[in-house]
A and B are shown apart, each in its own frame.
Chain A
Amino acid sequence: MHEYSIVQSLVDSVAAAVPENATVHRIHVAIGDLAGVDCGLLTTAYEVFRDGTLCEHASLAIERIPARWQCPQCGADGSLRCTRCDRPARLATGDEIVLQRIELEVP
C-alpha cells in the first residue's frame, strides 16, 4: 500500500508551501481515476499520519478526476484508439496526484 508514502509526500509538500507558524485548516487534493491511488486508503493513511504534523488539524478534501483519453492527432476525446485517425490515444486527464490548494491562517 503506497498511500502512506503519498501522504508523507503530501505533508512534505504542505510544509514546503506554508509559513512555519501557519495553522492549516483544509487541504484540497485531486486524484485521477487512473492514478493508481485508492481514495479510501489515502484518507485512512492521512488520518493516521497527520498526528503530530502541521496537518494535524487540517481536513482533507479529495476531488476525483475522471480518465479522459484524447487523440494526439485530431484532439478528439473518446476511446483508447481514435476511430477517425486509428491512432492510440493519450491520457489527457486521470493520472493526477496533485495538491491543489491549502486553506490556512497565519497569525
Chain B
Amino acid sequence: MCQKVKPVQLDVRILARNDNAAAHNREHFSERGVFAVNVMGSPGSGKTALLEATARAFDDVRRVAALAGDLATDNDAARLRRAGMRSAAIETVQACHLDAEMVHHELHHFDLAGVEYLFIENVGNLVCPAVYDLGQNANVVVLSVTEGEDKPLKYPTMFAKADLVLLTKCDLLPHLSVNVSAILEALGRVMPHPRMIPVSPLTGEGVADWMGWLTA
C-alpha cells in the first residue's frame, strides 16, 4: 500500500503545560488575594538580602512569604525564616529555573493564610527563568551595581519582561566607577516602560521606594 507523508498543522505553544499550571497558580493567588512576585537575577545579585530587608520593612511580617528556588540547599529559605518570613525552599536539582509545576507542587503544602505578598525567588540566572511563567503578578529583576552597565543589553529577554528593576548594593557605588545613568539608559533600550529603584538592603537606601512600588 502506498504511504504518503502528510503535514498536520498544530500551532500549539510548546510550553502549554507550563502555561496551564501557571494559569492555575494565578487563580490560586487571586482567590486568596495574594500578589505574587517573581524575583529574578544573577547568582549573588542580592535577591535574598533584598527579601530579608523587605521582611524587616513590613509592620507585620506575617503579610509576606517566600518560596526560594535553588539547585541545592534550603539556605535561602532558612535565611528568610530567620528574618521572620514564612518561607520554603524549592530544590530544582538540575533545572536552571523554576517552572509553574514546581511552584504548584510547593503551594500544595504551603500555608498562605494571611499572606498578601508572595515572593518567588527564582534560581540565580538571567536567561532561563525569563522563559517560564509561574503565575506571578509581577516580574522584578534584581541587578547589582557590580554586574556591569550593559547587563540589560546582554540579557534583553529578561529585562524586557521586567516590571521593575531593583539596582542593589548601591552602598558600594562610592567605591566603583559605575555610572547609574548608563544602566538606566541601557534599560531604556530593552524595557518598554523602564523603571528602576536603586536600593541597598545594608543601609536601607531605597527600601521605602521599593515598598511604595510593591504596595501601590
Contact = CB atoms under 8 A, between A and B. Distances in A.
Interface of A: 1-2, 5-6, 9-10, 12-13, 17-18, 25, 29, 34-37, 69, 80-81, 88-91, 97-107
B9 interface: yes
Contact of B14 (A98, A101, A107): A98
A107 B3 CA distance: 7
Contact of B4 (A10, A100, A105): A105
Nearest to A18: B8
B157 interface: yes
Given A13-B16, A36-B131, A104-B6, A1 B96 contact: yes
B127 interface: yes
B15 interface: yes
B5 A99 contact: no
B140 to A, nearest CB: 17
B9 A97 contact: no
Contacts of B1: 107
Interface residues of B, number: 36
Interface in B126-168: 127-128, 130-132, 156-158, 160
Given A2-B97, A37-B131, A97-B131, A105 B3 contact: yes
The 6 closest A-B pairs by CB, nearest first: A88-B192, A88-B193, A2-B128, A36-B157, A36-B131, A80-B192
A102 B6 CA distance: 8
Contacts, number: 94
Contact of A13 (B3, B12, B131): B12
B10 to A, nearest CB: 5
B156 A101 contact: no
Nearest to B155: A36
B10 A100 contact: yes
Contacts of A101: 7-11
Of the listed residues B9, B96, B97, B157, the one surrounded by the most CB atoms of chain A closer than 10 A to its CB is B157
28 contacts: A1-B96, A2-B127, A2-B128, A5-B95, A9-B15, A10-B14, A12-B17, A13-B14, A17-B12, A29-B14, A34-B157, A36-B128, A36-B130, A37-B131, A81-B192, A81-B193, A88-B193, A90-B192, A97-B15, A98-B12, A99-B12, A99-B14, A100-B10, A101-B8, A101-B10, A102-B8, A107-B1, A107-B3
B18 interface: yes
Given A9-B18, A103-B5, A105-B6, 7 more contacts: A35-B157, A36-B158, A99-B10, A99-B13, A100-B11, A103-B6, A103-B7
B191 interface: yes
A51 B188 CA distance: 44
A107 B2 CA distance: 9
Interface string B1-41: 10111111111111111100000000000000000000000
A17 B8 contact: yes
B81 to A, nearest CB: 29
B158 A9 contact: no
Contact of B5 (A2, A36, A105): A105
